[in-house]
Amino acid sequence: MSARVPQCLTLRDIEFIYAAYSAEGEGELEQLPSLNYRYNDHLESILMLPKAGFGETQFYPTVAEQGAVLFYEIIKQHPFFDGNKRMACLILFTFLYLNNVWIQLSNDQLYTLAQTVACSTSEEREEQLSLIQDMITTHKAPLEDKDDKRFMGLDVGRLLNTLNPFRR
């Protein structure tokens, strides 16, 4: 059984997500700093990690593994000058939603997870990926009403419906 190839986000998607959150976010988490990339091509490669593989083999075959590597690498590789943990949270929720997964996490749980990843060493990478994957799997919630999912004050469903009508 082959794994499903995920729908990945692009740099343009990230800019759209950032603009939408800046305009509509309710400030449930600290406000995002201005959107500045440290390394444009670096962020693009991180965004493609969920599709990584060799031949027919995907390195991250499940959506939980794909979301975990995306979240981890954005936090650890710092593609933005500032706000990497906050952007990792927004990107994770948007990626999962785009791939038909929703998770129910409180801001405190999400903050703790992001801080744990940020404070970890590179030697703890596999342990951290497992922790994130377990958090996604454990907190998975039904995605029945895709038009009423909010995260950090942002209506993710509406965001994605306007992001790219050709995605679906």
> How far is CA 105 from each of CA 3, 64, 93, 109, rounded to the nearest angstrom?
26, 14, 10, 6
Q: What is the pLDDT of residue 80?
A: 84
Q: Reply yes or no on whether the pLDDT at 2 is more than 50.
A: no
Q: Per-residue pLDDT tens for 31-79?
A: 555 666 666 678 889 999 999 999 889 999 999 999 999 999 999 999 8
Q: Can you give the pLDDT at residue 87?
A: 86
pLDDT value at 167 more than 80: no
Taking each helix axis as running N to C, give the angle between helix 107-119 and helix 63-77, from 0 to 180 degrees, rounded to the nearest 10. Answer: 60
In this structure, what token pair is assigned to residue 157?
């469903």
CA 52/CA 49 separation, integer angstroms: 5
pLDDT at residue 29 greater than cutoff 50:
no
Tell which wins on pLDDT, 31 or 134.
134
Domains of the chain (ranges; CATH) run: 11-163 (1.20.120.1870)
Q: Over 60: is that where the pLDDT of 129 sits? A: yes
Task: Identify the weakest region by mean pLDDT among 85-94, 132-141, 144-153.
Answer: 144-153
pTM attached to this predicted model = 0.82
Decide if 87 contacts 43 (C-beta within 8 A).
Answer: no
For residue 80, what are the β-bridge partners? 37
Q: Whole-angstrom Cα distance, residue 145 to residue 48?
A: 27
